[in-house]
Chain A
Amino acid sequence: MFQQRDIVTAIEIGTSKICVLVGESTQDGKISVIGHGEAPSVNTVVKGEIADMDTALEQLTSAIEAADASSGREISNSNIIAVAVTGSSIQAYQGTGTVFVNSEDHRITESEMNEALQNAQVKPLPFGQTIINTFDSYYLLDGNRRVRNPFDQTADKLEAFIHVIHGDTNRIENFRSIMRDAGFEHEITPVFSGIASVYGILTDEEKEHGVLLVDMGAGTCEYMAVFNMGILASGVLPIGFEHVANDLSLGLDLHISVCRKMLIDGTIARHVQERQGFLELRTSAGNLRKIPLSSFEKIIDLRLREVFQIIHKNISDQGIFRNLSSGGVLTGGAALFPRTAEIFKSVFEFPVRVGQPFDASGAVTGLENPRYSTVWGVLKFGEELNRIINSRRKRGMVGAFIDGFDGLADLVWRTLSNLKHSITI
């Protein structure tokens, strides 16, 4: 019998690559990847933001075409199209909303939760800023009891703490408009890259006990602090591994492409491993150049250390260090360079592991690489969103009425959907 398939498309327009994944929800609640397309960004994306729309569109189209072909022409049936957004304009704040529980038995109902969440969102954003994602971090009952889910609890006062990620409207709109240009007519859901990686690679245990995720890609570095299934802090540094290559190129008079190649193909890492004192290179003129390995190490270490120290400062300013008992998780392309995790570990002085998609299944495999953490996370996020929307639809009129979300059209719900632990990270 014909059955509606739940197709989700995830797209990441990154500094090094543009990647498209097509997934399908399976019966057991997991997602299987049915299509994968990838194209290099060829310098059209700088520091996570699209610099050259024309060329980016070309590359995006070819990636989408590849994914569409491999998925058996299913992209056009997508229920959800989610795209990862990042860039230096993205910021976050913690909002608080308070509600007094006036009902007779003082039990918190869903409508009070919704009211608290709405109140938490009232802080006006600066001009030209738009909300990308919103998550509930935790709830406080009577000003002192911290709970993850306040539903049905008895209390006089309910406070909701939410994490709001917002960015420059125009720059976010770029991601939407390029998707429209590429032929998607659906509503496009933006997801902050850091959030996506949280979905993609963290284990439930880590999210429960507190973890700092750092996703260092070619152009940007996103960090997220997650504790008790809620997000406490997040941010973007527009510094990525391209900066390391650029530093080497400037410091050692090498061409940038040589530096990129050495970082990617493991030449430097291998020399460090073998503890060789020098790295020999043949220059374009044909001469042999000997560069002390210590120079490479010095330049790379200084840069990476600085990045992690900035993150360290941002995190410690918010005083949430004690909540990070599971340590750190490093992902993104930079995680392929072994030294990055070592420096992460030494700056923060807690255990650090390298994270990569671990539960990917389906026709397309080979996603077990830190490079694919974000796009895989976008897919998981989209699938989760799809599931929630479906469940609301099925409940029909009565279900929606009880929720207190009555009268909200599907589209409106979609934009609000990020709220409330409807989405459990």
Chain B
Amino acid sequence: MIETGKQKHVKVIGIGNSGVKIASRLYGLEMAGRLNITALDTDGLSLEQSSLPNDKKLLLDGGWRKGKGCGGDVLKGQRSMARERGGIEKLLDGASLLILTGGLGGGTATGGAPAFAGVAKKMEIPTIFVMTMPFSLEGHSKRKIAEDGIRELLPVVDVLLCLPNDLLFSTLPADTLVTDAFKNADLEVARAILGVSELVSVGNLLPADLADLSSVLNQKKSVCSIGVGVAASSDGLNRCHLALERMLDSPLLGGVTKLKEADAVFLSLTGGPDLSIGDTKKTFDAAIKFIGNETKVIIGANTDQTYSDMVQVTAITVNFDKQEKKPGVSKSDSFLAETRVVDWKSDEKSVSSTGFEQGELPLQNISRGIFLNTTQVAYDGEDLDIPTFQRRMVIVDKGE
């Protein structure tokens, strides 16, 4: 017999400095009660500052890093995570879905996330990675690290959502306090995670699940954005419209036009047991007005005890890459196009500045080894005798 009523056990893991912050923020939200949240970092200090209870935060690789963090070194992050493989497996044991969040561009998250994905894949747990891209003010090098990280992640995760941090501040007035701004940023990402987790949890009214999401995202290379809006009955008369409005205002969505331009939109509505069919219809009718005619819409609706008196509207927009590319080939290249679409302002700057930058020299010594004296094998303009990793400019850790 097939177990059908099995409770979904959603594991949320925040990794690295920003992951810990997001996890703590998420823990504070009352709707997140059913999520199993854990924060991991190599930096003891960031864990100490977190408001999570002690059993929810774990110091990574204390033996080698001694709680001092990775200092932005991706290799160190990779190594730390490699040493903790056994621990990760224990952590993920029994999970039916893994949502991992963290800030790309740092050491622990960028290096560690692929290891997580690998372990989850082996344990056959579906994965959603919600990663933030660094602020453009953090510099070009960080962005490059983040992009390299994405390249590693893409082939191993089921769903990868990249949220550009720049968008978070786009809606804030310039005189907002810095602490508030960052708090807001974490909160927005936490909400997005919550929204995603709702989207893929068993839709007991209208089904839309992880399979829908990953099948759409896997079709072609795509850019996505997330908007989440929550409203309670106490907020006003029409809580559904309010939630929808808040969703549209959500900075990570990037404006109402995003919905109109999207190639596919996932809409999900979560409410308490008091959710009425009228509310549901009203919300979806209103939401669909914002969505273009050509757009594929996938709708899910859900009720949950923790949402009594509240409704939450989540939208994930997906824009396919306009240049059609064969799936499976050079996924990484098309991702670069994504970041360009998302923050064109910062990119313009970097384009003009690269004119003066010296190109990066590959540190690797390109060689053919034992095939030095043999007939060359050329394919597509590449010498196949040269190791693939050298041609792809992949840096390999030689160990210590």
Q: Indicate if the CB atoms of B398 and A239 lie closer than 8 Å.
A: no
- Nearest chain A residue, comparing its CB with the CB of B119: A275
A-B contact count (CB 8 A): 104
A265 part of interface (Cβ distance < 8 Å)? no
Q: Indicate if the CB atoms of A291 and B377 lie closer than 8 Å.
A: no
**A298 CA to B395 CA, complexed, in Å:** 10
B 341-400 contacts with A by CB, 8 A? 367-371, 374-375, 377, 379, 384-385, 387-390, 392, 394, 396-400
Instruction: Give chain B's interface residue range (CB within 8 Å of chain A).
Output: 20 to 34
Smallest CB–CB gap between A168 and chain B, Å? Answer: 11
Known A278-B399, A293-B82, A295-B397; judge A303-B369 contact (CB<8 A).
no
B236 part of interface (Cβ distance < 8 Å)? no
Q: Indicate if the CB atoms of B377 and A47 lie closer than 8 Å.
A: yes
A320 part of interface (Cβ distance < 8 Å)? no
B 105-134 contacts with A by CB, 8 A? 115, 122
> Which of B84, B368, B388, B392 has most chain A Cβ within 10 Å?
B388
Smallest CB–CB gap between A234 and chain B, Å? Answer: 17
**A251 CA to B389 CA, complexed, in Å:** 8
Q: Indicate if the CB atoms of A46 and B398 lie closer than 8 Å.
A: no
Q: Which residues from A are CB-within-8-Å of B394?
A: 298, 302
**A23 CA to B89 CA, complexed, in Å:** 52
**A256 CA to B385 CA, complexed, in Å:** 15
A46, A88, A298: the one contacting B396 at CB < 8 Å is A298
Q: Indicate if the CB atoms of B369 and A302 lie closer than 8 Å.
A: no
B86 part of interface (Cβ distance < 8 Å)? yes
B85 part of interface (Cβ distance < 8 Å)? yes
Q: Indicate if the CB atoms of B369 and A250 lie closer than 8 Å.
A: yes
> Which of B89, B369, B374 has most chain A Cβ within 10 Å?
B369
Smallest CB–CB gap between B374 and chain A, Å? Answer: 5
Q: Indicate if the CB atoms of B388 and A302 lie closer than 8 Å.
A: yes
A270 part of interface (Cβ distance < 8 Å)? no
**A243 CA to B386 CA, complexed, in Å:** 9
- Nearest chain A residue, comparing its CB with the CB of B84: A277
Q: Indicate if the CB atoms of B398 and A278 lie closer than 8 Å.
A: no
Q: Indicate if the CB atoms of B369 and A246 lie closer than 8 Å.
A: yes
**A302 CA to B393 CA, complexed, in Å:** 11
Q: Indicate if the CB atoms of A275 and B89 lie closer than 8 Å.
A: yes
Smallest CB–CB gap between B324 and chain A, Å? Answer: 16
Known A252-B399, A289-B399; judge A299-B374 contact (CB<8 A).
no
A292 part of interface (Cβ distance < 8 Å)? yes
Please encode chain A, from 320 to 359, with 1 for each CB lying within 8 Å of some chain B CB and 0 for all others.
0000000000000000000000000001000000000000
Q: Indicate if the CB atoms of A246 and B387 lie closer than 8 Å.
A: yes
Q: Indicate if the CB atoms of A292 and B86 lie closer than 8 Å.
A: no
Task: List 17 A-B residue pairs with CB atoms under 8 Å apart, sorted by A's residue number.
Answer: A88-B375, A238-B377, A238-B384, A239-B384, A243-B371, A246-B369, A247-B369, A250-B387, A252-B396, A275-B86, A275-B122, A277-B84, A292-B79, A294-B115, A295-B396, A295-B398, A295-B399
Residues of chain B at the chain A interface (Cβ within 8 Å): 78-79, 82-86, 89, 115, 122, 328-329, 367-371, 374-375, 377, 379, 384-385, 387-390, 392, 394, 396-400
Residues of chain A at the chain B interface (Cβ within 8 Å): 46-47, 49, 51, 88, 237-239, 242-243, 246-247, 249-253, 256, 275-278, 289-295, 298-299, 302-303, 305-306, 309-310, 347
